Structure 1
Amino acid sequence: MGYDRGKQLFSSPHRLALLRELRSQPADTQSLTDALSISRVTVQRHLNRCSKLGWIRKVDGRYELTPVGKHACEAATAFLDRLSVLGEYEDIVHTLAAVDDSFDPLLLADATISVAEPSNPHEPIIHYRNTVTEAATDSIRGILPVFSELLTEVHRDLLKSEVETELVVTQSVLEAAPPDATDIPSDSFGLYVIDEPLEFGLTLFDETAVVGTYDEGTFVSCIESTDPAFREWVVAVYEGYRERASRVPLEVTADPDCVVQSGSDSAE
């Protein structure tokens, strides 16, 4: 039944366009003809078919969607939007679905996305740096899968301003870049280490969520969104990883230029 209804809806691109027009407001045949830029005969044929399917009805000389028609229009629109996102961002969806198999590609629909291209391989990191630099936030939570001097640099001013910061890092990041006490106030910084390989990173600001995908340690895409549903998904992912991570106690030594990881032999 569902497949048959789908064939009826997608048998002509004008049929869904007609439903979308009526989703905004009721309209008569002439208004629909003008809006869709097709012949009046074609419009009337689609109206008759949609009426038989129970998707529209005529009230006081104008057509309007029925409740079933509204759901059919919304379902078809969401379906096409998902296909569009999958077509444009297939690699990103593949990575994020590996992080959480419940990931909905539609969460990317309203996001700002930068992807590394041969002509501009640094676009994602530039995007991320600008986002952090312009952020107005009281707290930051993040997952850092690889050590990068640039990523450390862009957070330094926020850390110096004592923005409350919490990071989950891999063991390799912890070993490559022990935190520096001069730049990181220990009372506003929490560090967690997780023993899992990661092909993504994320940063949560007060209102914005940013996700980065990696390919063999190279930052290949940056996804930024203020959409509450996207941020909610990122929060859930972050909290899941933090729960599996171990807190790294930090102790500031008498030397103001170094910090010791408690239980570790390394210090810088």
Structure 2
Amino acid sequence: MASDSGHDDARYLAGSPVRVAILRALDRKPRRPASLTDAVDATRTTVQRILAGFRERRWVVKREGAYHVTPTGERVHDAYEGLLSEIDRADRYGRFAADLERAGADFPAAGLETGDLTAATDRDPLAALDRVVELIRTTRGSDIRAVSPIVTTQYNEAAGAAIDEGAEIELIIDREVLQTSIAEFGPATDRALSDERATVYVSADPIEYGLFRYDDVACVVAYDEHNNPRCVFESTDETVVRWADDRLETLTEGATLLSAVVQESSATRE
């Protein structure tokens, strides 16, 4: 656990962009105060005051008129830069990570470093949806395993085109999606029942995030509280691919073939 003085020193460094800039400049090479004044665009008085604060904390020493970072100062610099990188990553991947956590997906934290993210924005609210459709259309006959908490015309058309090009698709949906598909997308549902290259499973539990696997690529689709696709994360990293495959296996084991669900529903109505 960090000491009170450690918290104070952290607040000291983070409390001024100029302090960070000076430590960063000194980490690159030793400098005299005049050189630092030009490098960080600060007054000589400000630079001298900050250097005194660094010397007090033993982050730098003065030797032959120039200031040098100490090994502890270098570690402080590296740790702070690492924190900034993590905060930047949290800003870029925050919505994706939050939506997956809300859905209980248990996505591996290390995976966030490995892929590309497409996120919907106010300017482009359909960016994530369009990216998923593009991925389905460009698989070019590769076999696809997928999970989806929604059904849309765009998904159905893209999946149909992929099957026409020789792909085999294995899809997991939940019962709410099935009801919507039967009510609003009858031809697509009929094809899912009759086409040997399409295998659809129905999960008894609600599905709240999407998965898309083909070749060596794993795609994860995060949806908001209203089931709007918000982020698409694509990765070939082994950790992410293994996680996606495990989730697919788990969801498949707990699901029922579409044909069996439809037959059971028909028998119940009779």
- Shared topology, TM-score over 0.5? yes
Matched, 1:159 2:169: no
> 1:198 is matched with which residue?
207
TM-score, scaled to structure 2 = 0.67
Residue number among 245, 249, 253 corresponding to 2:252 in the alignment:
245
Distance 1:105 1:235, change over 3 A: closer
> 1:112 is matched with which residue?
117
Amino acid at match of 2:221: V
Q: How much has 1:17 moved relative to structure 2?
A: 2.5
> 1:236 is matched with which residue?
243
Distance 1:144 1:61, change over 3 A: farther
Matched, 1:170 2:174: yes
Cα distance in structure 1, aligned partners of 2:158 and 2:127? 15
> 2:29 is matched with which residue?
26
Cα distance in structure 1, aligned partners of 2:255 and 2:108? 30
Distance 1:78 1:40, change over 3 A: same
Matched positions, count: 251
Residue number among 142, 149, 153 corresponding to 2:146 in the alignment:
142
**Percent of paired sites with the same residue:** 23
**Backbone CA RMSD of aligned residues:** 4.3
Is the 8 Å Cα contact of residues 204 and 235 (structure 1) preserved in structure 2?
no
Q: How much has 1:86 moved relative to structure 2?
A: 5.4
Q: How much has 1:34 moved relative to structure 2?
A: 3.3
Q: How much has 1:217 moved relative to structure 2?
A: 3.0
Cα distance in structure 1, aligned partners of 2:37 and 2:159? 55
Is the 8 Å Cα contact of residues 168 and 194 (structure 1) preserved in structure 2?
yes
Is the 8 Å Cα contact of residues 202 and 212 (structure 1) preserved in structure 2?
no
Per-residue CA distance 1:219-248 (angstroms, 9 max, x = gap):
3x12334484xx734752552353143376
Greater Cα radius of gyration, structure 1 or 2: 2
Cα distance in structure 2, aligned partners of 1:59 and 1:166? 68
Q: The residue matched to 1:197 in structure 2 has which SS?
A: coil
> 1:129 is matched with which residue?
133
Amino acid at match of 1:153: E
Cα distance in structure 2, aligned partners of 1:184 and 1:41? 77
Cα distance in structure 1, aligned partners of 2:89 and 2:78? 16
> 1:180 is matched with which residue?
191
Q: How much has 1:15 moved relative to structure 2?
A: 1.9
Q: How much has 1:150 moved relative to structure 2?
A: 0.9
Per-residue CA distance 1:193-221 (angstroms, 9 max, x = gap):
332223322324434634231332333x1
Say which is worse superposed, 70-79 or 108-117, in terms of deviation. 108-117
> 1:212 is matched with which residue?
222
Cα distance in structure 2, aligned partners of 1:191 and 1:161? 18
Q: How much has 1:154 moved relative to structure 2?
A: 2.1
> 2:17 is matched with which residue?
13
Is the 8 Å Cα contact of residues 204 and 254 (structure 2) preserved in structure 1?
no
Is the 8 Å Cα contact of residues 128 and 222 (structure 1) preserved in structure 2?
no
Cα distance in structure 2, aligned partners of 1:65 and 1:133? 54
Q: Which runs of 5+ in 2 are unaligned?
A: 182-187, 266-270
Is the 8 Å Cα contact of residues 209 and 221 (structure 2) preserved in structure 1?
yes
> 2:57 is matched with which residue?
53
Q: Which runs of 5+ in 1 are unaligned?
A: 251-259
Matched, 1:265 2:263: yes
Q: How much has 1:265 moved relative to structure 2?
A: 0.9
Cα distance in structure 1, aligned partners of 2:19 and 2:114? 23
Is the 8 Å Cα contact of residues 170 and 196 (structure 1) preserved in structure 2?
yes
Amino acid at match of 2:252: A
Is the 8 Å Cα contact of residues 192 and 242 (structure 1) preserved in structure 2?
no
Q: The residue matched to 2:173 in structure 1 has which SS?
A: strand
Give the number of the structure whose residues are more often helix, by fraction.
2
Distance 1:201 1:248, change over 3 A: closer
> 1:254 is matched with which residue?
none
